[in-house]
Amino acid sequence: MDWQQLTTDCVNFTQRLIQTPSMSFEEALVAELIAAEMQQLGFDQVWLDEIGNAHGRIHGTDPSLGALVLNSHTDHVDPGDPGLWPIPPYSGEIVNGRIHGRGACDIKGPLAVQVYSMAALLRQGIRPRRDVVFTGVVQEEIGGAGAIHWVENLDYEVALLVLGEPSDNELALGHRGILQMWLTFNGRSVHASVPEKGDNPNYALAQFLTRLEAAQGELSAHDLLGPTTVAPTIIEVDTQSGNVTPAWTRVWLDFRTASESVNSLSAFVGKLAGEWPHTLVDARAATPQPLPDSDETLYGFYTSPESEAVVRARALIAQGTGREPALTSYQFATDGRHFVPYGLPLIGYSAGEEHLAHTAKESISIAKMEESLRGHVALLKAF
């Protein structure tokens, strides 16, 4: 195998992907670019579905086996102010052995590795044991509509799904679940000149936030996926008039956990909120809805290190790269959470580095891309 040529071609594809902006709902051009690349590379099947997901398939030698699916998303977050980027966000420029730009590590570099690891089999005239399918899904950055559409319409068996989310060439076995809620403190509005005649809920919110910061250590942790965290993000009041005290104030609480439940987190918030009149509702509901009554532990996804899929994948990647990948987890959420109800075996493996995702210094190492190509090819050949 000419690894140097494979890497060069993969890098070139990554640059072209970065140079094709694809914000959520604007993925059509990059999906067409991906489809054209897979057709040029000789994939057995290439198609775009009705929601704009891009798919490519290489047939294996045993059609009775479930497919190995390589999953990435085609959208990226807003690059923000271009002046904050040391290198222009849509340039795809190579500096010091790294490809720079929005989406370089999340997720266009890893996407290119997935496509070119499949191409490597074709270049060698090798047929894998099972079908290998690439799925490039839309709208991951805003909730995962593309992934949901794919899994709801899945018409073939899946033996393993490999996420292209940044894992620094280690094996990511899951991430924490998300619970987002509005905590509202209710008061009594008056003219700001006579604050003593009202009940200003901003004081209750201030007390709550102070307690919340001090109490975060009371939340539990998962051995692999990490501690439960909570971040207060958006704060709102009912009025835009500066000379009126609010009737209510509310804060959006973003919990990430793999060891708590809706009920345990609701009780945690209720204890810190104290006696001031308050309500909790599901922050992601279109209209105010109470949080579900559930003691079930919240996960994004979690694949046991002892599972057959992990043991086999880890051994094959080690054969391809010459080192055994460490077992790790994601800090952020992924589309993997949408596949859990369908029982699909999941791992994450890619050359991207998580700490660079969504930043103005986003880039990906070409050396790590080559290592990832070797790991992917070994996995695809024999899994």
Mean pLDDT in residue range 261-265: 97
Tell me what pLDDT residue 285 has. Answer: 84
Q: Residue 107: is the preceding peptide bond cis (ω within 30°)?
A: yes
Please name which of 382, 378, 381, 376 lies closest in space to residue 71, comparing C-alpha atoms: 376
Map residue 169 onto helix, strand or coil: coil
d(CA 82, CA 94): 18
d(CA 215, CA 234): 20
Map residue 280 onto helix, strand or coil: strand
Question: What secondary structure letter does DSSP report for 296?
Answer: S
Residue 347 has pLDDT above 90, yes or no: yes
Please name which of 45, 41, 66, 54 lies closest in space to residue 124, comparing C-alpha atoms: 41
d(CA 195, CA 190): 7
Tell me what pLDDT residue 299 has. Answer: 85
Task: Count Cβ neighbours within 10 Å for each residue of 269-296 and write b for 16 or more, e otherwise.
Answer: beebbeeeebebbbbeeeeeeebeeeee
Contact 29, 48 (CB under 8 A): no
Q: What average pLDDT is seen over the chain?
A: 96
Virtual torsion, Cα 250, 251, 256, 259, nearest 10 deg: -50
What are residue 190's phi and psi, to 5 degrees?
-145, 175
User: Hey, what domains does the chain have and what are their CATH numbers?
Assistant: 3-170+300-382 (3.40.630.10), 180-282 (3.30.70.360)
Mean pLDDT in residue range 172-194: 96
Map residue 289 onto helix, strand or coil: coil
Contact 43, 67 (CB under 8 A): no
Q: What share of the chain is helix, strand, coil (3-state, %, to 5)?
A: 35, 25, 40
d(CA 336, CA 342): 11
d(CA 251, CA 186): 12
What is the percent of the chain where pLDDT is above 90? 97
pTM comes to 0.88
Contact 100, 91 (CB under 8 A): yes
Residue 287 banded pLDDT, cuts 50, 70, 90:
confident
Among 18-27, 278-287, 302-311, which stretch is predicted with the lowest mean pLDDT? 278-287
Contact 245, 204 (CB under 8 A): no
What is the percent of the chain where pLDDT is above 70? 100
What are residue 145's phi and psi, to 5 degrees?
-60, -35
What are residue 135's phi and psi, to 5 degrees?
-130, 115
pLDDT tens per residue across span 131-155: 999 999 999 999 899 999 999 999 9
Mean pLDDT in residue range 240-258: 96
Tell me what pLDDT residue 100 has. Answer: 98
pLDDT tens per residue across span 23-63: 999 999 999 999 999 999 999 999 999 999 999 999 999 99
d(CA 133, CA 69): 5
Residue for token digits 């579900």? 292
Residue 288 has pLDDT above 90, yes or no: no
Residue 330 has pLDDT above 90, yes or no: yes
Residue 321 banded pLDDT, cuts 50, 70, 90:
very high
What are residue 362's phi and psi, to 5 degrees?
-60, 130
What are residue 159's phi and psi, to 5 degrees?
-85, -30
Mean pLDDT in residue range 54-74: 97
The secondary structure element, H or E, covering residue 311 is helix 308-321
Alpha carbon separation from 64 to 61, 69, 130, 221, 344 (Å, rounded): 9, 15, 8, 40, 17
Mean pLDDT in residue range 265-290: 93
Radius of gyration over alpha carbons of the chain, in Å? 24
